[in-house]
Structure 1
Amino acid sequence: MLARTHELLDGFDVAGHPMTVFSTGSDEDKHVGDEYFLNSGDKIRYFLEPGSVARATPTQAAQLTVPPARSVNKIGHALGVLDPVFRKHTFSDKVRGVARAIGAHKDPRVLQSMVICKQPRIGGEVPCHNDSTFLYTDPPSAVGAWIALDECTPENGCLSFLPGSHKTARVSSRFVRAQGGGTEFVPVPGVTPNEEDWDALDGWRQAPCPPGTLVLIHGSVMHRSPPNPSDRTRMIYTFHMIEGADGSVYDEKNWLQPTQEMPFQRLYGDVAA
């Protein structure tokens, strides 16, 4: 998977790219909301690090400040379905065995598969969040599968978790397509937000790990990662699973939508070629 990631990065052609950057800052204005992002659920698309792009001016178009292969924040969001290498691992017997062992879903569906690069010196912070906010189902059911492709260390931006937060965090908001275009956060009706400042709580734990490690992330657990100021990448591959059985609702408000040509794939069923 790491070798394939480098092939994809080396093949990235910036010509014609809309220069869409990706940020997961807490300010909703920093979130991506253009069509390149919103229509990426059945495609392999490249999203850029904010620190790799010199913004357009009245006299000059936006342009990269680093080589194209070093500019990419992530490659997604149907990587695990459309790319043969990532599909092989995403729908492997090992992954299916893990999913059955944890028993979180009756009929798990795979969505939002991507490589996150954490480029050297410009790889940005991922602030405290939980995944069910971004991949909302009723009831919440998201589980992330996060696979280290590089050595992940405190120096290059490894994950941190707040142990036990999945037991107390309420999924009280969701990241959706805004009516006038773009994206926004909206409250989940009937759910009172937590009053905690999660970042300020004691007990955060770093999770350094070697390449090949699979980290399973409960959809409600609070997690984050710092910027990467080092001279080494921190590349990972991740995909998410949600419940696809009757009784679970994934509605049209969510930012990421399946298409008629590519519905969310059943982990235990046939995989689209």
Structure 2
Amino acid sequence: MRNSLLEELEANGYAVIEDFLKPDEIEQLLEAGKKLCLEAPQEDRKVFSGVNSDKAQSREKYFIESGDKVRYFFEEGAIDEKGELKLDPLNALNKVGHALHTDIPVFQNITCCDRVREICWQLGYKRPAVPQSMYIYKNAGIGGEVIPHQDASYLFTEPNSTLGFWIALQDATQQNGCLQFIKGSHKSGVHRRYIRNPDTKSEELLVYDRAAPIYPQSSFTPLPVNAGTLVLIHGNVVHKSDLNRSNKSRHAYTFHIVETQNTKWSEENWLQPPKDKEFPIFYEAE
């Protein structure tokens, strides 16, 4: 399995492992996702825009300081001009992040399970750490588009070591916004970076270091998967997801792994570990 997993990841920039989660584990995470909806803020709600990911987040300390916290981000279409919910709370969230893997046991159990450790070992990680985790809702009829991007644009290491673990908690189809990839695009390096603004006087706390590349729609391959499937995502592969225009939600749990042995986490990244700490370490290979 080690060679086949490596070969698939190196060839395409992603790899698929079906039935990664058991049915009872899927149900536990779905229930935890519902609970997060009911615990979301009742005022001063923050919106997350996957289409213009620098639109609101670039000026929001609520987002920038969320690396070691559990914080809630709503869909644009869920909030009216007065900041009030227009939808059922169970359908209003875009995502919750970015410390589910440290602060909520059910997510921590999956993130740190032996299956994840085994994959990290198979892929050659020596001292892997988890910088962030998210519950993604992609709710029916409102789940927003996520523009083409590379995870390493936001979670940059030298040398590259970023690996996404994206776990479908419900069936992901072309109708409800499954992941789409440009196969092999991870071989072309990091196309742009989303970094902390060096101009400390600017209201824009985060900026892109260059304009967005143009990726033709025809270059993307949709990847529909069943609930319980794990998709491994190379940090440099270009991927996206469309609007959910269907009547079925597409919940997912996702987290990222980075190497910490002989690898440098960029101080320009929006996400930084708490002061005098490091990201949670999985294991240290002898």
Match for residue 243 of structure 1 among 248, 259, 277: 259
Runs of 4+ aligned structure 1 residues displaced above 4 Å come to none
> Quick check: 1:132–1:219 contact (8 Å CA) kept in 2?
yes
Structure 1 unaligned spans of 5+: 56-60, 188-192
1:107 Cα deviation after fit: 1.3
> Quick check: 2:127–2:281 contact (8 Å CA) kept in 1?
yes
1:25 Cα deviation after fit: 2.4
1:1-273 matches, within 5 Å, as 1-12=29-40, 14-16=41-43, 18-26=44-52, 28-29=54-55, 31-55=57-81, 61-103=82-124, 105-168=125-188, 170-178=189-197, 179=200, 180-181=202-203, 182-186=205-209, 197-200=214-217, 202-246=218-262, 248-260=263-275, 263-268=278-283
1:264 Cα deviation after fit: 0.7
1:251 Cα deviation after fit: 2.9
How many angstroms apart in 2 are the aligned matches of 1:129 and 1:172?
Answer: 9
1:42 Cα deviation after fit: 0.7
Amino acid of the residue matched to residue 231 of structure 1?
N
TM-score by length of 1: 0.86
How many angstroms apart in 1 are the aligned matches of 2:261 and 2:75?
Answer: 36
1:40 Cα deviation after fit: 0.7
Q: How many correspondences in the alignment?
A: 252
Structure 2 unaligned spans of 5+: 1-28
Amino acid of the residue matched to residue 176 of structure 2?
N
The structure-2 alpha-carbon separation of the partners of 1:64 and 1:185, relative to structure 1 and needing over 3 Å to count, comes to same
In structure 2, the residue matched to 1:58 is: none
Task: Report the 3-state secondary structure (helix = DSSP H, G, I; strand = E; otherwise coil) of the residue aligned with 2:158.
Answer: coil
How many angstroms apart in 2 are the aligned matches of 1:50 and 1:174?
Answer: 24
Task: Report the 3-state secondary structure (helix = DSSP H, G, I; strand = E; otherwise coil) of the residue aligned with 1:65.
Answer: coil
1:30 Cα deviation after fit: 5.1
1:253 Cα deviation after fit: 1.7
Amino acid of the residue matched to residue 63 of structure 2?
F
> Quick check: 1:23–1:32 contact (8 Å CA) kept in 2?
no
How many angstroms apart in 1 are the aligned matches of 2:141 and 2:37?
Answer: 17
The structure-2 alpha-carbon separation of the partners of 1:128 and 1:81, relative to structure 1 and needing over 3 Å to count, comes to same
How many angstroms apart in 2 are the aligned matches of 1:23 and 1:199?
Answer: 21
1:32 Cα deviation after fit: 4.5
The structure-2 alpha-carbon separation of the partners of 1:262 and 1:52, relative to structure 1 and needing over 3 Å to count, comes to farther
Percent pairwise identity:
38
Amino acid of the residue matched to residue 5 of structure 1?
G
Higher helix share: 2
What is the Cα-based RMSD across aligned positions, in Å?
A: 2.0
1:254 Cα deviation after fit: 1.0
How many angstroms apart in 2 are the aligned matches of 1:113 and 1:228?
Answer: 22
How many angstroms apart in 1 are the aligned matches of 2:32 and 2:128?
Answer: 26
